[in-house]
Amino acid sequence: MNVIVIGAGILGSVISYYLSIRGANVTLIEKNEPGDGASQVSFAWINSRDKHPSEYHELNRKSVDMWSGLNNRLGNKIGLKTGGEIRWTITDSGAVNLNKSVHLLQSTGYPVFLIDKSELQSLEPNLISEPLTAASYSPNEMTVEPVRVIQECINLAGKSSNFELITGTEVKGFVLEKNSHIKSLITSSGEMECDYIISAVGADTTDLLSDYEVNIPRLYSPGATFFTEPVDNIFTTVSAMHSPRDRKDVLMNIRQLLDGTVQIHMGTDKFPSTSDLKYSDENVVELATQYIPSLRGTKIVEKKQALRPMPIDGQSVIGFSEKLDNLYIIMTHSGVTLAPLIGEIASIEILEGARVDFLSNFRPGRFI
């Protein structure tokens, strides 16, 4: 079976890895270089927190539980950091909202706990969290480094003769048979025949498929992130910190990579700042030192920006097109969290012909 995967972000790379180890002939096509899109901007926080409705929460939760297995498969080389996530509030109304959120998550069995000031300081003694009206800790949440995941998936898939990576090649469209089956891809390097096509092109999904009456509408959701020079460990326990969501100014998400680089993610996914990069390097570091004083004087060495793949209803798109019978479509937010699950499921549905029941609410056909 010959499968072409379009897009070498984290989803396309993980799917290609799963398909190749199960014997499919896989060609992974990327218009730039692997990981050049939204994957390099992602905060890469592996979680199922505040994800609604319940079906979407459970989808993410299943995948959270699969990350340790994928980490083992990839040789523990992907920068997976355990230790959980911490956050707190600074107002009474913020505390009420955090308490409600935690209790709702706990009712589903999700491991998240309200903690007091002393418990927070025990977890992270160097973190400034004043004032504090409430705090929570999610011990099972993790972070990972998407670029490392992509590299390892491609490296391991590339050890077999049934995998090929083609970069610098853009997919322009499809050649159809009987208007419902893709015979070949039209690329900037010529036509390529295949049995199945997986579209994992993120925010480009809508434009790529619109000429074929495949409707996958998306929201405009820009993301930006800053990377510092490597520094000593900034956290004692956790893998990620979220600044108070009840602040009236800038919201920040902070994590640290294996090499000591600190990643500072501005804004939120629901309300992204379209001007995240307006902040000077000094502004970003100064804002971060409100919480982590040891970052004072640290230099920003890189800024990255990309469009996040956000379906218009906020829910994942996973599965075969109802218009083109050999086209498998993936567009989703939380792509890092969902990568192991989607990789596993896509390989099962394509290679085995199965249909996974719990994906019924996430199929592309809902937009017809």
Of 48, 42, 268, whose CA–CA distance to 138 is shortest?
A: 48
High-pLDDT (> 90) share of the chain, % = 92
Tally of CA atoms within 13 A in the half-sphere of 35 that contains its CB: 17
- What single-letter amino acid sits at 184? S
Q: What pLDDT does 272 receive? A: 44
Given pLDDT bands bounded at 50, 70 and 90, which one contains residue 250?
Answer: confident
Q: What pLDDT does 277 receive? A: 59
**Across residues 88-100, what is the average pLDDT?**
98
Given pLDDT bands bounded at 50, 70 and 90, which one contains residue 248?
Answer: confident
Q: What pLDDT does 249 receive? A: 78
Strand partners, 222: 307
Using DSSP's 3-state secondary structure scheme, residue 100 falls into helix
Q: What pLDDT does 135 receive? A: 99
- CB neighbourhood size of 294 (10 A): 14
Dihedral, CA of residue 69, residue 74, residue 76 and residue 77, to nearest 10:
-150
**Domains of the chain, each with CATH number or no CATH:** 2-44+146-219+311-367 (3.50.50.60), 85-139+222-307 (3.30.9.10)
Residue 360, pLDDT above cutoff 60: yes
Task: Read off the pLDDT of residues 158-208 as tens digits, 9 standing for 90 and up.
Answer: 998 999 999 999 999 999 998 899 999 999 999 999 999 999 999 999 999
Whether the Cβ atoms of residue 138 and residue 63 lie closer than 8 Å to each other: no
* pTM of the complete model: 0.96
User: How far does Cα 343 stand from its chain's mean position?
Assistant: 13
Q: Is the dihedral of CA 297, 146, 82, 362 positive or negative?
A: positive
Using DSSP's 3-state secondary structure scheme, residue 250 falls into coil
Q: What pLDDT does 269 receive? A: 45
Residues in CB range of 27: below 8 A, 6 or more apart: 2, 3, 4, 5, 163, 164, 165, 166, 192, 194
High-pLDDT (> 70) share of the chain, % = 97
**Across residues 121-140, what is the average pLDDT?**
97
Task: Read off the pLDDT of residues 95-119 as tens digits, 9 standing for 90 and up.
Answer: 999 999 999 999 999 999 999 999 9
Task: Read off the pLDDT of residues 271-311 as tens digits, 9 standing for 90 and up.
Answer: 444 445 567 888 999 999 999 999 999 999 999 999 999 99
Q: What pLDDT does 271 receive? A: 40
Task: Read off the pLDDT of residues 1-52 as tens digits, 9 standing for 90 and up.
Answer: 999 999 999 999 999 999 999 999 999 999 999 999 999 999 999 999 999 9
- CB neighbourhood size of 199 (10 A): 26
Residue 317, pLDDT above cutoff 80: yes
Integer Cα distance of 285 and 263 in angstroms: 11
**Across residues 119-134, what is the average pLDDT?**
96
Integer Cα distance of 368 and 68 in angstroms: 37
Q: What pLDDT does 274 receive? A: 45
